[in-house]
Amino acid sequence: MKKIVITGASGGVGSMLAKGLAGNGHHIICLGRNKKKLTALVNEIKLNGGNASFEVVDMMISNLVAEVGDKLIKDLGNIDVWINNVGVNNHNAIGPTWELKPENWWNEVSLNLYTTFVGTRVAINLMKKHNYGYIINLGGGGVQEPKPFGSAYGAAKTGIVKFTETVNIELKDEGLKIKLFAFNPGFIKNDRTKILVESEVARKYMPKLEHILKYGKMSEANDSIDLIETLISGKADELAGKYFFSDDKNISHAINNNEDFIKNERNLLRVKL
C-alpha cells in the first residue's frame, strides 16, 4: 500500500484515478477546492472498502499547499506518490488565439502549469527527508501535435512535459532518489468532458471532439491506473523523466528496452533538425 496524493481529485479524471487506485489497496489523499465533492468521493471510496482522506486546498495558493503538505507528513509520516492531476480546459480560452482575452489565456496556462510546479515543489520537499517518492504529472492534448484553437491548454501541457524531464534531471544530479514521470491519460468520458464537448465554442472550433465522444473510441481510466501502478512499482525507474501515453500500453516494451529508449531519447520532447 502506498500513500498517494491526487490534486484536483474532486471530479473528472482525478476522481476516477482516486477510485481506481484506492481499489488497488492504496491510501488516497484527495486534494481539491470543493469540500462537498471531496466528501462524497472519500465516502464512496470507503463504502467500497478503500482507504481515503481529503484536504480542501486551492493549488494556485502555494503557501496553503505547503501547509497541507506539512499536515499530511504530521498525520501520515510520509508521502509515497504525488499526482499533479489539476487540469482545466476553460471555454473562454478556446478559439483563435488573437481573439482570446489575455487574462483568460494566462489563467488557463496557470491553472495547468503553475499548479503542477506548486505540487511538484511541495512534494519534493516532503519526500526529501526519506529520499524516496514518485511525482506524476499529467500531460495531454497539444503535446505531441499542435492543438489549434486550444493554444493555452496545449502550451501548458507541453510545458508540463518538459518541466517533468528537467526537474527529474535536477533530482538525479543532486543524488535524490525521487522520480518524476509525465503521461497522457487520453480522452476519457466523464461529466467534464461532456460539458466541454457540448459547449458552443467547442462545437465551433473542435467539432471532432463531439464525434469522438458519440461514436469514436474513448480512452479508459483503467489504462491510466495500470500505467501509474507500473511507474510507481520501481520497474520503470530508469525511464524517469519520460512521457508516456496510457492508450498505447507500451510501458512494458519501454521497460524491456530501456537502453534503447534512453540512448535514442525516446518519449521525450525534442526538436528535429
pLDDT for 32: 97
Domains of the chain, by residue range, sit at 3-263
165-200 per-residue burial string, b: 16 or more CB within 10 A, e: under 16: bebbeebeeeebebbbbbbbbbbbebebbeebbebe
**CB contact at 8 A, 197 and 210:** yes
**CB contact at 8 A, 35 and 56:** yes
pLDDT digits (tens, 9 = 90+) for 40-71: 999 999 999 999 999 999 999 999 999 999 99
pLDDT for 138: 97
C-alpha torsion sign, points 154, 196, 109, 187: negative
Question: Residue 76 to residues 69, 106, 125, 142, 166: CA-CA distances in angstroms?
Answer: 10, 36, 15, 37, 29
- Can you read off the three cell numbers belonging to residue 243? 512521457
pLDDT digits (tens, 9 = 90+) for 140-171: 999 999 999 999 999 999 999 999 999 999 99
Distance of CA 66 to the CA centre of its chain: 19
Q: CA angle, 196 as apex, 222 and 144 as ends, to 5°?
A: 60
pLDDT for 218: 76
Please state which CATH number belongs to domain 3-263: 3.40.50.720
Q: DSSP code of 178?
A: E
Which stretches of the chain score pLDDT less than 50?
Answer: none
HSE toward the beta carbon, residue 229, CA cutoff 13 A: 18
**pTM of the entire predicted model:** 0.95
Task: Give the strand pairing for 243-245 and 27-32.
Answer: unpaired
